[in-house]
Chains A and B, each alone.
Chain A
Amino acid sequence: MNNEKTTREIIEERIAPKKRTPLYSRGALKKIKEEFKRWKNTVVREPDRENWEVTPHTIIGSEIPRELLYTPLSNAELDYQADLGFSGEEPYTRGVHPNMYRGRAFTMRQLFGAGSPKECNRRMKALLEHGATGTNWALDLATVQMFDSDEPESRGQVATVGVPIDCVADMEVICKDIPIDEVSASIVTHYPRNTAIVFPMYLVMAERRGISWDTLPGSVQNDFIMESLVRSASEYIPPRDDFRIQCDNIEFLRKNVPQWNYVTLNGYNLREWGTSGITEMAVAVANGIEILKEMTRRGHDIDWVAERLAFFWAPANDFFEEVARMRAVRRLWYKIMKYRFEAKKPRSMWMRCHVQTSGVSLTREEPMNNVIRAAYQALAAVLGGAQSLHVDSFDEAYSIPSVEASLLSLRTQQIIEAETQVTQVVDPLGGSFYIEALTNDIERRILDEVDEIEKMGGIVEVVTSGWLHHKVIRHIEREQRMIADGQIKVVGRNYHRDPNLKMPDVWVHEYDEKINRAMGDKLAKLRRRRDNQKVSRCLKALVEACRRGDNVMEYTLECARADVTEGEMRRAFIEAFGLWKPPIYG
């Protein structure tokens, strides 16, 4: 297709001439090799020798074969400085900060949002009073899918799984009395279009409170993979246009809200939809590469752009795989930034991430078992060096979490942080023969998949063609068969299932029709009191900006200032870009 070198080719070319300093002496390795052979043939039992390698099968696992025992021979060429180094230094395998959690504990960021904007404000304040160190907003489906609360599509779904936001006034209620210049907010605007519409409402709210945008800490998701690939929806715009909006948002935020993390490259939802831990990371990394290429094309300095880029990962049940994955992608991202993009600032080379424990690995059967699953997953994330954490609640296979389940999740984090002492030592598993071999293997596999994507024309192309959609569908179908035939063991469901199993009475969030009506009344009033001519002008300007190729957020900001609603802006985008049909529906 073109002669551009792939990321892997560039990295390999740049690393090849570097002289390596192996940690192990040839003599020692030779001796270990002889002894290993003797031990394996005489001490290890025949069946263990024959099944030396096993492949773990787990939900959304990566099926990487594991040996019975790892030794220096598993990583015989290890060069300590080149491959591991010290924490806070290249290649950042051991962590992005020299002192890691001794300097600052991971941010305990429990996702929350349900009920009216007022209720959301009350519960976010309660979580902060219990020691949460940031807010993390779940938006309701109408808001995520960019419909106003009073559109026919929103019927029955307003405020069910998150907070509804139609306009700036809702932002003002959600953030009332929260010091938004001190407490960082993770606003889970999954999609580029959703970010372009909702985030300016946050900025206008700050403006009306007299708070300078320079001081605002937080993050948005803004990931076109979420909008064009992972989600299900009734309307899509073409992935190429969606990718452009993602980049427009980044450019605007970088210029105007300097402390804001403008993209969270979301591996999480892709993996939870149904893919391995390798594909999760490869897709997010490939999107990151494409963004940085586009920003360079737009003439921006790579370090100016890259220092605020962040990732979002899903740790599942295979404990050591999860620890190794975090280390592997940290080293790979460093190599990409250093060699592919020639970044100069250390911060640009950091793979910083938020982690949420895996929802699809939870079961409806015996839901208290989910407390254990989530705790192990959270521990793996911390041992892997995550910056920020959400622990799923045990009742999430039933409903959005109850107040007490949500508190238990926060307590799980606090126990890891304050009682287990795992945060005292940086990268405590580093140097383990097993962990290092697995880290190498995973890094290689991620880069292989990035290479595969690049050779097919890059991330936008593999989304547009449906190649990634079908990869996920195959994964989901195969995984389901493996659960049905017991190859994947799920305790309490298909393994050691209680023959007298009864589904427990778990609290579930109930739909409150009143909120839907109240949101509708508010919109009706808003449409009467605002300057509707100004609204039309702003929307027309937005459509034209989309068509001309101007940065869309400049225009959605003006829309927000004029009290344009979310649904109105969504329709402007559709008018400008037209509809796209994802290649999975027949």
Chain B
Amino acid sequence: MAPPKNKIKVLLAQFPLEAHSRGIITVAGMLKDAGMEVVLIGNELPERIIEAAIQEDADVVGISTYCGGELALGTDLMKVAEEKGIKDNTAFLLGGIFPPRNIPELEKIGFSGAFLSANKEEIVACIEKAITVKKGAG
């Protein structure tokens, strides 16, 4: 029997132009405190983010966004994830500043959570739930 992978691995990234990183660093700290393994890759195009997620064998991909582009680039991200076959077994979350009315659309394209503000417990709960759904009960 393979040893259980007990630490949730989260890859955190931002889209190419995002200049703010207080949010992503804050969330990285929260998730480390919650016992998760965090890989911070910085600013990348959607293709590169998915490539890194595959390389790192990440359970979760988290995107931090402040300055727009969440729908356009989020759609691109999901498209690449689907092409590369990781959309169904990886949880995608997004947080930052964007119009609240975009939340339903972000969920529709495949984000398990889209946060405008959240504390550690809310983010952790969302990740755990999304992983259970994505990876099934086993």
Question: Which residues from chain A sit less than 8 Å from chain B, CB to CB?
Answer: 140-142, 144-145, 147, 152-157, 160-161, 231-234, 272-274, 360, 364-365, 397-399, 472-473, 476-477, 480-481, 484, 503, 508-511, 582, 584-586
Question: Given A147-B17, A231-B19 in contact, is the A157-B68 Cβ separation under 8 Å?
Answer: yes
**Any A CB within 8 A of the CB of B120:** yes
CB distance from B132 to the nearest CB of A (A): 25
The reply to whether the CB of B100 lies closer than 8 angstroms to some CB of chain A is yes
What residues on B are CB-neighbors of A232 within 8 Å? Answer: 14, 18-21, 24, 42-43
Given the complex, which residues of A lie within 8 Å of B39, measured CB to CB? 586
Q: Are A399 and B17 in contact (CB under 8 A)?
A: no
- Are B69 and A364 in contact, with the CB atoms below 8 A? no
Known: A232-B19, A233-B19. A156 touches B69 (CB 8 A): yes
Complex: A419 Cα to B126 Cα, angstroms: 50
Interface: B7 (CB within 8 A): no
Shortest C-beta distance, B129 to chain A (Å), equals 21
What are the 10 A-B residue pairs with the smallest beta carbon separation, nearest first?
A156-B72, A160-B68, A156-B69, A477-B29, A153-B16, A232-B21, A234-B43, A157-B69, A141-B17, A508-B99
CA separation between A145 and B20, bound complex, in Å?
12
B69:A273 contact, CB within 8 angstroms: no
> Which B residues touch A510, using CB under 8 A?
99
Instruction: Report the bound CA distance from A156 to B17 in whole Å.
Output: 10
Q: Of A145, A153, A585, which one neighbours B40 at CB under 8 angstroms? A: A585
- The 16 listed contacts between A and B (C-beta, < 8 Å) are A144-B17, A145-B17, A147-B17, A156-B71, A232-B20, A234-B16, A234-B45, A273-B20, A364-B116, A477-B26, A480-B30, A481-B29, A481-B33, A503-B100, A503-B116, A511-B69
Q: Is the CB of A234 within 8 A of B44?
A: yes
Interfacial chain A residues near B109, Cβ < 8 Å: none
Closest-by-CB residue of A relative to B76 is A155
Q: What is the bound-complex CA distance between A582 and B41, given in angstroms?
A: 11
In angstroms, Cα B76 to Cα A272, docked, is 31
Kindly provide the distance from the CB of A583 to the nearest chain B CB, expressed in whole angstroms.
11
Assembled-state Cα–Cα distance A584/B21 (Å)? 11
Give the distance in Å from the alpha carbon of A565 to the alpha carbon of B119 in the complex: 42
B6 at the interface (CB under 8 A from A): no
**Contact across chains for B22 and A141 when beta carbons are under 8 A apart:** no
CB distance from A18 to the nearest CB of B (A): 43
Asked if A399 and B99 make an inter-chain contact with CB atoms under 8 angstroms apart, the answer reads yes
Residues of B with C-beta under 8 A to A472? 25
Contact present for A476 and B19 (CB under 8 Å): no
Q: How far is the CA of A113 from the CA of B47 in the complex (A)?
A: 31
Q: Determine the residue in chain B with the shortest Cβ distance to A274.
A: B22
Contact call A508/B100, Cβ cutoff below 8 A: yes
Q: At the interface, yes or no: B133 with Cβ under 8 Å from chain A? A: no
For B116, the closest partner residue in chain A by CB is A364
Flag if A152 contacts B45 (CB, 8 Å).
yes
Closest to B43 in A: A234
Report A398 CB to chain B, min CB distance, Å: 7
Q: List, in ascending order, chain A residues with CB within 8 A of B44's CB.
A: 234
Give the distance in Å from the alpha carbon of A110 to the alpha carbon of B59 in the complex. Answer: 44
- Interface status of B55 (Cβ within 8 A of chain A): no
Contact, CB under 8 Å: B30 / A161: no
Set B25, B98, B117: member contacting A364, Cβ < 8 A: B117
Does A585 contact B41, Cβ atoms closer than 8 Å? yes
**A147 CA to B43 CA, complexed, in Å:** 14
Task: Identify the closest chain A residue to B27 (Cβ).
Answer: A480
Distance between B48 CB and nearest chain A CB, rounded to angstroms: 9
How far does the Cβ of B115 sit from chain A's closest Cβ, in whole Å? Answer: 11
A155-B73, A234-B42 in contact; A142/B97 too (CB < 8 A)? Answer: no
* Known A156-B70, A160-B69, A511-B68; 13 more pairs at CB < 8 Å: A140-B67, A142-B17, A145-B19, A153-B16, A153-B45, A156-B68, A234-B45, A274-B25, A473-B25, A477-B26, A510-B99, A511-B72, A586-B39
**Distance between Cα atoms of A222 and B26 in the complex (Å):** 27
Residue numbers in B under 8 Å from A155 (CB-CB): 69, 72-73, 76
Within 8 A of A (CB), among B25-59: 25-26, 29-30, 33, 39-45
Nearest chain-A residue to B20 (Cβ)? A232
Given contact pairs A152-B45, A157-B67, A585-B41, A273 touches B21 in the complex (Cβ within 8 A): yes
A484 to B41, CA, bound (A): 26
Which of A156, A272, A476, A585 touches B29 (beta carbons < 8 Å)? A476
Q: Is the CB of A141 within 8 A of B26?
A: no
Shortest CB-to-CB span from B60 to chain A, Å, is 16
**In the complex, A122→B39 CA distance in Å?**
44
How far, in whole Å, are A576 and B137 apart by their CA atoms in the complex? Answer: 54
Q: Nearest CB to that of A153 among chain B residues?
A: B16
Within the complex, what minimum Cβ distance (angstroms) separates B53 from chain A?
14
List of B residues within 8 angstroms of A140 by Cβ: 67
Residues of chain A with a CB closer than 8 A to B33's CB: 481
Complex Cα distance A586/B10, Å?
Answer: 13
Q: Known interface pairs A153-B45, A398-B97, A503-B100. Does A141 touch B68 (Cβ–Cβ under 8 Å)? A: yes
* Residues in A whose Cβ lies below 8 Å from that of B119: 484
Q: Is the CB of B68 within 8 A of A584?
A: no
Which residues does chain A contribute within 8 Å of B24, judged by CB atoms? 232
B44 CB to nearest A CB, Å: 7
A272 to chain B: which residues have CB within 8 Å? Answer: 22
Q: How far is the CA of A147 from the CA of B19 in the complex (A)?
A: 13
Most buried by B among A154, A472, A582, A586: A586
A159 to chain B, nearest CB (A): 9
Bitwise interface map of B from 89 to 124 toward A, beta carbon under 8 Å scored 1, else 0: 000000001111000000000000000110110000
Closest to B47 in A: A152
Chain B residues with CB under 8 A of A480:
26, 29-30
CB A267 to nearest CB in B, in angstroms, measures 16
Which residues from chain B contact A233 at a C-beta distance below 8 Å? Answer: 17, 19, 42-43
The distance in angstroms between the C-alpha atoms of A477 and B31, with both chains bound, is: 11
- A476–B42 contact, CB under 8 A? no
The answer for the CA separation of A496 and B66 in the assembled complex, in Å, is 28
Contact between chains at A360 and B22 (CB < 8 Å): yes
Once bound together, how far apart are the Cα atoms of A509 and B68, in whole Å? 10
**A152 vs B76: C-alpha distance in the bound complex, in angstroms?**
11
Query: Which of B16, B33, B39, B41 is the most central at the interface, judged by chain A CB atoms within 10 Å of its CB?
Result: B16
Q: Do residues B42 and A161 form an inter-chain contact, with CB atoms below 8 A?
A: no
B67 near A161 (CB under 8 angstroms)?
yes
B41 near A154 with CB under 8 A, answer no
Q: How far, in Å, is B122 (CB) from chain A's closest CB?
A: 11
Q: Contact: A141 with B99, CB < 8 Å?
A: no
Query: Could you tell me the distance between the alpha carbons of A152 and B97 in the complex, rounded to whole angstroms?
Result: 22
